[in-house]
Amino acid sequence: MQPETLEHQIYQDLKTKILRGEPFEYSLTLHNIAEAYECSTRPVRSAFSRLVQDSFILQNNGGRMQVSPKKFGKKPNAKSNLQNDDLEAVITKDLVEASLHGIAIQFTEQGLADYYKIGRTRLRAMLQRISGKGILNYLPRIGWRLRPFSQKELENFGSVRRELELLALRQSFNILEKNVIEQMIITTEALFQDKGKEDNSLHDYFVKQSDNTFIINFMNQNLPYFELLFDWESLDETHARKAVTEHLRILKAILMGDLIATEKVLLKHLAYDHTRILAERQKLKHPLLKIGKILK
């Protein structure tokens, strides 16, 4: 573990003080903080920059610093304490869930920053990466538009996915590794005993081994949507057990070298009607719907 830098120590100390609602004995200036820590103003300046970025300290046009009233005396938010990768995954999942209501929604950065209790600069970097997955579109001087994912789109996605995954299987069938398939069988059999929990690495393996850039790009682009659907469907133990059973049949057909049998089971497995679970989840209004502007 690397030693904690003075910049990080100052950042954490001031952040904790603000969240606990503890008053400062001096005005917030680079000189005063540097004097308190017996250091130069350089690490203080870096710490202040992070505190401003995370909205703990406000800076006016004249450069004067003051504690943010919204942060003073507030307990740390569980989401805001997550590391960037973890928080980005949470935000992505929330946006995908909201988009599955099939409604076009417009968000302001400030509205989302307030919801997740983080600074706009930190949030903006995450939203830019998330937009690369096709979930959001940036609207200059307005905010972010959430892509609506309707039942019709879900049906179209399912049709395309079936054709592409079948093609991936055909292109990769002769190079699927026996030891990998055998290990997947062992893992899948164990999952069946564990309330039928589903492992979708089998599908990822076909796609990766196909080495087909167009298939891989399509799957990556739409991955957040069907991963979430898989998560929801796995909550239905009956469906999950059925899916795991079909996975075993697919894997054993591959092990026997029978492409036709593998295709038959795979197509049956991919024919699951996702619209039912989507309709059920749409009844649960996501909190993000309340902070965005619904577009006609």
Q: Clarify whether residues 129 and 60 are in a common domain.
A: no
2 — pLDDT class (breaks 50, 70, 90): very low
255 — pLDDT class (breaks 50, 70, 90): very high
Q: Clarify whether residues 159 and 253 are in a common domain.
A: yes
**Model confidence over 160-196: pLDDT tens digits?**
989 999 999 999 999 999 999 998 888 888 877 765 5
Question: Does 1 map to a domain?
Answer: no
Q: Clarify whether residues 104 and 209 are in a common domain.
A: no
Q: Which domain holds residue 35?
A: 6-67
Domain boundary among 149, 169, 184: 149
pLDDT score, position 258 = 96
**Model confidence over 69-91: pLDDT tens digits?**
877 776 555 455 555 567 888 88
CATH code for position 185: 1.20.120.530
| pLDDT, mean over the chain | 81
33 — pLDDT class (breaks 50, 70, 90): confident
Annotate the chain with three-state secondary structure: CCCCCHHHHHHHHHHHHHHHCCCCCCCCCHHHHHHHCCCCHHHHHHHHHHHHHCCCEEECCCCCEEECCCCCCCCCCCCCCCCHHHHHHHHHHHHHHHHCCCCCEEECHHHHHHHHCCCHHHHHHHHHHHHCCCCEEEECCCEEEECCCCHHHHHHHHHHHHHHHHHHHHHHHHHCCHHHHHHHHHHHHHHHHCCCCCCCHHHHHHHHHHCCHHHHHHHHHHHHHHHHHHHHHCCCHHHHHHHHHHHHHHHHHHHCCCHHHHHHHHHHHHCCCCHHHHHHHHCCCCCHHHHCEECC
Q: Clarify whether residues 121 and 198 are in a common domain.
A: no
Q: Clarify whether residues 206 and 141 are in a common domain.
A: no
Q: Clarify whether residues 61 and 165 are in a common domain.
A: no
Question: Does 284 map to a domain?
Answer: no
Q: Clarify whether residues 117 and 100 are in a common domain.
A: yes
Q: Clarify whether residues 116 and 169 are in a common domain.
A: no
Q: What is the mean pLDDT of residues 239-253?
A: 88
pLDDT score, position 82 = 52
Q: Clarify whether residues 108 and 164 are in a common domain.
A: no
pLDDT score, position 1 = 32
Question: Does 155 map to a domain?
Answer: yes
Q: What is the mean pLDDT of residues 28-50?
A: 85
Question: Does 99 map to a domain?
Answer: yes
Q: Clarify whether residues 142 and 157 are in a common domain.
A: no
pLDDT score, position 75 = 55
pLDDT score, position 157 = 82
CATH code for position 28: 1.10.10.10
Question: Does 25 map to a domain?
Answer: yes
Q: Clarify whether residues 179 and 271 are in a common domain.
A: yes
Question: Does 74 map to a domain?
Answer: no
Residue with tokens 């200036």: 29
Question: Does 293 map to a domain?
Answer: no
Question: Does 78 map to a domain?
Answer: no
Say how many domains are in the chain: 3
What are the CA-CA distances from residue 232 to residues 197, 245, 274 (Å)? 12, 18, 10
Domain boundary among 111, 132, 149: 149
Q: Clarify whether residues 90 and 156 are in a common domain.
A: no
pLDDT score, position 235 = 63
pLDDT score, position 277 = 67
